[in-house]
Amino acid sequence: MVSTTDLPTKECRNSLSARTQPDVVSDLIEKEVFKGFLYGPFKDPPFQKYRVSPIGIAEGKYSGKKRLILDLSSPHNDDKHLSINDLIDKQDCSMSYVRIDDAIDVILKFGRNSWLCKFDISDAFKNCPIVPSQWPLFCIKWEKMYYFYVRLTFGCRSSPKIFDHLSQALCHIAENNYKVNSILHLLDDFLTIDPPDADGERTMAIMMMIFKKLNIPIAKHKTIGPVKCLEYLGIILDSEKMEARLPLNKVDRICEFIKKLCRKKSCTKRELLQLLGHLNFASRVILPGRSFVSYLIGLSTTVNDLHHYVKLDKECRVDLEFWLLFLSSWNGVNMFYSRQFYSSYDMELFTDASSTKGFGGYFKGEWFYSSWPSNIAYPDKTFSMAFLELYPIVVSAILWGSQWTTKRILFWCDNEATVAIVKRAVQNRQIPQTSSQCSTTSNEVPKQLRCNVVLNQAVNELWNSAIANTTRTVYDTGFRKFETFMLLNGFQFSNLPPISEDILIYFIAHCFKILSLQYSTIKLYLCGIRYKYVQGNQNDPLQSAHNTPLIRLDYVLNSVKRLQKPKNHIRLPITFEILEKIVNCLRKGFCSKFTDLMLRTACIVAFYGFLRCGEFTVSKASQFDPHINLCIEDVVFHSDLVVLKLKQSKTDPFRKGINIQLHKLGQLICPYTILLEYIQIRKEFSPTNQTDPLFITIDKKPLERQYFITCIKKVLDICGFNSSHYNGHSFRIGAATSAGKAKIEDHLIKTLGRWTSDSYIRYIRAMKILSKKRLIKKAGFYRPPPSRDGKPVNKPVTPLEKVYREIAILKELDHPNVVRLVEVLDDPDKDNLYMAFELVEKGEVMAVPTEKPLSEDQAWSYFRDVILGIEYLHHQKIIHRDIKPSNLLLGDDGHLKIADFGVSNEFTGTDISLSNTAGTPAFMAPETLREEKENFSGKALDIWAMGITLYCFVFGQVPFKDEFPLALHNKILKDPYKVTDSLTDLIQKMLNKNPDNRITLPQIKLNPWVTKGGTCSLPTEEENCTLVTITEEDIDNVVKHCAKLDTLNASKRIALNDAEISESNIDKKDHTFRIKSKDSNRSFYMQADSENTQHEWMQAICFAKAAGRDGDNSQACVIQ
């Protein structure tokens, strides 16, 4: 790379872009270190002689993505200290790049409908290592710490050439070893082209295999193919239409730039050159524009410096107006022209014009002639001859242009100016504007169709069925709001109101400020407006003329989303345990005998069928439709199961239908038994037709959604639950929760519930997402320096090793007052670690602030749970650091569980000395907020937070409150607090602002308020805690990589229609049950905890059976 490595030591100052963005630089350096591209940090220089080059930040002009750049051309104009790039020979690094025309040539060679595939190498240059002897030349310095690069960097003169050798080698391997038809590359961008009759999938597979074998990372989001249309080198190549065109976002960008300049009288040379760069790029595919660039180039040469101004004269503006016309009308007109120039008789066009007689043309034996149109033939109008000669050429293009596709035509014309226009020169004369009068075609429907009553009814019916009824209701509401808004602001209209992006922005402001609507509702209203305008044969008002989103509108919507606080409605699941209580309450008598039976049946069927409330109820009884809603004929009984047919559902809008199998369980709560009983009573209660509704009320009307939810809420109140936390969806999510408890696999729960997204996950797991980058930053990313005396050095410690050890300990925690960490999953494609905790269904113990604090007895009971949980964590050498009511969850047994270990710390010895702040401001101890940066005790932080939490239990609010964080910190440091006499002693000792004098956990356990004067002692530490131990194997296996769902499904597929599942298959020894195929010797097993009862086993078997309800798409719950 560099001709010599014997350079004097030199440290250059970092660029201004880096110094003004320190957080960005730190994050980017952190990423480089984590990926192994950069070694460091080192307190001292890692080499005896070294060169520190400046670092800077380069930001993508349109993407906004920021990249770390190493300026190896610095220092500049310094004879004593040459830059690294000065030592690299320019001639050796010169190279030629592939052109878009090269790709077009290959497509022309293979023909129409050629297959295209595109690949992009991730971290391009950094896949190439730097030889160790040159590491000292690639040092950087940041925040007084030294680093050095071990991979090629951006900013090095030789990087493109070196990387190009790698790319050429890949192309050589593909073409010669694997017979890939054609492959092109521009550094890290690869394009393969195959003939239409070739197997494009084979090329894609071969290239992916080559990259994988050579361990070269691929950007998956940029890997495309095989397709017939894709973007390569910024140009869209379309082998089906045989054309090249600019992407619409680039067209919009250039148009905006031109319009911006047209509004000015002058612009800087820099702005003009930027525009010329855009136009030069666009002229690759918009060929007529090439003739309108040369004048702009000449104009840019009239001044010297980039900041000098250039006057935009009349000729310049005319050229820019032509460019606007070309961009709007000629993008995509550029076909893949044959490289052969046809000069034969068949490819020649002859035209001529006379100012007095008319014009004519001749092509391939055909001809035309005409006198001038009336708007040109007026005697008082004088047109240039250039214009008159151009006229028949345009007419020829209209008549014969379809025959010119992909061909080069020789124009014969006897006017020099016209020839110049057609070819490449710039016409300096002003060409008159074309007439505004043109032939029009009416979009109005003929009277005969408008009067056709039958067809009009059919069209209205089709429009009504285009969207779901609930969606149409919301759309109608949104459009009425828009009409009202327009009328209030003085707009008059007979059909559809006038509309523009600005009007929509003001409407959003109206919804946000006046109507106080949520972001999601505003989005639906905008969709309703679009639906109405499209229905009225108007353009989509939410898109520009180029079918791109309205950028300003998107920004305003995002602003609404950012300003609004999301409303988190509590929606709890009705689990099997709650279902049992509901059923028992209805058996004892709630309404009439028939109503109670109907509600019991609906609840059990909704639970076991994972039904949405709208799938077995109707919005209004008058709207019942036997073609959509659940009828008696949709229930079919078999010997051991009943099939429930849903004709339409949320995930089946086109009414393909789905059969749900509900199996006979042979227990008290059984969907088969209750449905059989209900159908018999239903027929006795009211004479039935097969198309009558399945569920009816006592007055023989279809079961309405609101009536069902109201009844269930009353039953839940009777059973002692807070009914405001439950709704019609609670049965469905409760089924998912119970299935998760029964060890049914996640992907099977998704199938059972007919979820098309991963939203079901939140019903079966409490998921916390952590950033790997932040964890690494917390753990540190130190690398030992290379050996200076030639001796081998120890292998660097993996940055995540400490983090993984902490997670391994968390996974082993087992205490009734600590939420259990079930699994940790690593998404290799994202910066996320997913921590799946056990689901604690009742949620947080209380919201703060609240007007309904806990009673002192309830606070006493819950606080004792907190004491035991914190004691257990401290025994495991873990400081929580974020104790607060929202991190205390209420379990089914009424006891609290401590959750959220996002900011916890592991320590050794008897305590940890901390110096950094973490946690929730209102619960942070005063020693963490002082200006003097001193270390403080970790255990004392948890004691303080426990005191604040106890205060919240009793008073429903925190003792220190302020809207502004700094003011809040000041109050925590200085303000007194008030408590009742009964808690004064304990809370005062816990909220002692001197951590050295703060009460300890063992002392809290002996406090009279906690023990009720010694009558209710807590367990000793030995009784409460067992030390967790972990092995190296636990650390190695602590994180699992996410498996692809389709792969998981494919490996666990079995036809349950031929499977034998029964209670007799349960093995009491190892707690498994067997799914055995009748026609083979294959067996599959499901493992469970020893605490699972026989009832839970049969429930799990029911879910496993129900998974096979889709016939050929059957899936069994099989776990090896």
CB contact at 8 A, 517 and 527: no
DSSP for 636-660 reads EE-SSEEEEEES-BTTBTT---EEE
Tell me the C-alpha distance between 271 and 294, whole Å.
16
Instruction: Give the tokens for residue 822.
Output: 């079930």
Helix (H) / strand (E) element for 427: namely none
Tell me the C-alpha distance between 3 and 87, whole Å.
6
Residues 6+ apart with CB under 8 A from 1081: none
CB contact at 8 A, 1039 and 826: yes
- How far is it between the farthest Cα atoms of the chain? 120
Distance of CA 209 to the CA centre of its chain: 28
Read off the amino acid at residue 995. Answer: P
Helix, strand, coil percentages, rounded to 5, for the chain: 45, 15, 40
Angle (nearest 5°) at CA 1032 between 1026 and 1038: 80
Tell me the C-alpha distance between 752 and 763, whole Å.
13
CB contact at 8 A, 71 and 15: yes
Q: How many CB atoms neighbour CB 826 within 10 A?
A: 15
Residue 49: CA atoms inside 13 Å, Cβ hemisphere, count?
A: 7
CB contact at 8 A, 874 and 1001: yes
Burial call 354-366: b when 16+ CB within 10 Å, e when fewer: eeeebbbbbbeee
Tell me the C-alpha distance between 356 and 104, whole Å.
45
Q: Which residues are catalytic?
A: 882
CB contact at 8 A, 57 and 18: yes
Residues 6+ apart with CB under 8 A from 409: 342, 347, 348, 349
- Report DSSP state, residue 843: -
Using DSSP's 3-state secondary structure scheme, residue 1092 falls into coil
Give the residue carrying structure tokens 């600019």.
246
Distance (Å) of CA 429 to CA 120, 258, 386: 48, 22, 9
Distant-in-sequence contacts of 1-4, Cβ < 8 A, 24+ apart: 1/88, 1/130, 1/131, 1/134, 1/156, 1/158, 1/162, 2/84, 2/87, 2/88, 2/134, 2/137, 3/87, 3/88, 3/89, 4/87
Pseudo-torsion of CA 102, 106, 109, 114, nearest 10°?
A: -140
Tell me the C-alpha distance between 307 and 271, whole Å.
9
Using DSSP's 3-state secondary structure scheme, residue 73 falls into coil
Residues 6+ apart with CB under 8 A from 164: 95, 187
Distant-in-sequence contacts of 325-329, Cβ < 8 A, 24+ apart: 326/286, 326/288, 326/289, 326/292, 327/246, 327/251, 327/254, 327/255, 327/258, 327/282, 327/286, 327/289, 328/251, 328/255
Tell me the C-alpha distance between 7 and 103, whole Å.
44
CB contact at 8 A, 262 and 293: no
Using DSSP's 3-state secondary structure scheme, residue 708 falls into helix
Using DSSP's 3-state secondary structure scheme, residue 11 falls into strand
